[in-house]
Amino acid sequence: MKCIVCTHADVTAQTCDRCVGWVRRTLIRVEQLYPLLPYELAGRAGASVPMDPSGIRGDTEPMPGGDVLVMLGPGSASWHDTPDVDSVLGLLERWDTGWRITFGEPAATDLATVTGCSLYLLRRLGKAAQEPACCFDEFADDIRLMHDRLELALRVSPQRSPVPCITCNHRALERPAPRDDGRTFEWQCGRCHRNYTDADYWMAMRQNGQAV
């Protein structure tokens, strides 16, 4: 029997351990990228194309930040044809609801959030990966696609983040090059060169008003 995600690993259950691992890591990465969307939206402010004299924007001119706004929006908890860009919360909430139904669990009583849905999906990931009714191969595709769309919208790589520096407000923290003494920091401001540990980085996010 072949893994339903990678389709080449031999398995006794339906999903191989390697695929369960990368889906878990990708979901965690989606949760980490989501709080960066408001920073990207702020960075695009003023980038709109001027309207023509009639006050109407051309039909072919996309709204600056439109994809980011969609991903930040509440989306829909109901299943529908996958759009070009989907809401992060809407996607996670649909899978959260579906798995709860499959496992015979009560519906969530708290207001859906990206963090809350992610935590539930991560807790059930190992079980869902081997449960045919959970459609884990489709879940893996959805999470991978959302991750890729987030990175594209954020124009961010593992080497760059749009979180503003809390010292000079420069909007681009970068991964620094390794130092001669072997010590490294997780992030560094490209302008004032302030170094950030992971704890400093998350403090910068909170200080700039973005709840994780």
Residues 94-129 pLDDT 10s: 999 999 999 999 999 999 999 999 999 999 999 999
Cα–Cα distances in Å, from 156 out to 25, 61, 65, 153, 159?
A: 17, 23, 15, 8, 8
188 domain-assigned: yes
57 domain-assigned: no
In the chain, % of residues over pLDDT 90: 33
Confidence of residue 201 (pLDDT cuts 50, 70, 90): confident
120 and 163 housed in the same domain:
no
54 domain-assigned: no
**Using the 8-state DSSP alphabet, how is residue 160 labeled?**
E
94 and 7 housed in the same domain:
yes
Q: Name the amino acid, one letter, at 93.
A: E
Q: What is the mean pLDDT of residues 192-210?
A: 76
pLDDT given for residue 119 in this prediction: 96
pLDDT given for residue 98 in this prediction: 96
The more confidently predicted of residues 141 and 164 is 141
Domain boundary among 138, 156, 174: 156
Confidence of residue 139 (pLDDT cuts 50, 70, 90): very high
185 and 125 housed in the same domain:
no
The token duo for 62 is: 């996309």
Domain boundary among 156, 175, 196: 156
137 and 183 housed in the same domain:
no
Q: Is the dihedral of CA 22, 23, 27, 28 positive or negative?
A: negative
Confidence of residue 130 (pLDDT cuts 50, 70, 90): very high
Give the tens place of pLDDT for each residue, 8-23.
889 998 999 989 998 9
179 domain-assigned: yes
124 and 94 housed in the same domain:
yes
Domain boundary among 156, 176, 195: 156
29 and 121 housed in the same domain:
yes
56 domain-assigned: no
16 domain-assigned: yes
147 and 94 housed in the same domain:
yes
Q: Which helix (H) or strand (E) holds 146?
A: helix 136-154
49 domain-assigned: no
d(C-alpha 125, C-alpha 136), whole Å: 9
- Please count the structural domains in the chain: 2
pTM summary value? 0.67
161 and 205 housed in the same domain:
yes
Cα–Cα distances in Å, from 105 out to 54, 134, 198?
A: 55, 13, 36
111, 127 contact by CB (below 8 A): no
162 and 208 housed in the same domain:
yes
Q: What is the mean pLDDT of residues 153-159?
A: 69
The boundaries of the domain holding residue 25 are 1-44+63-156
58 domain-assigned: no
162 and 151 housed in the same domain:
no
Give the tens place of pLDDT for each residue, 168-200.
777 667 776 555 555 556 788 766 778 888 778
148 and 167 housed in the same domain:
no
180 and 148 housed in the same domain:
no
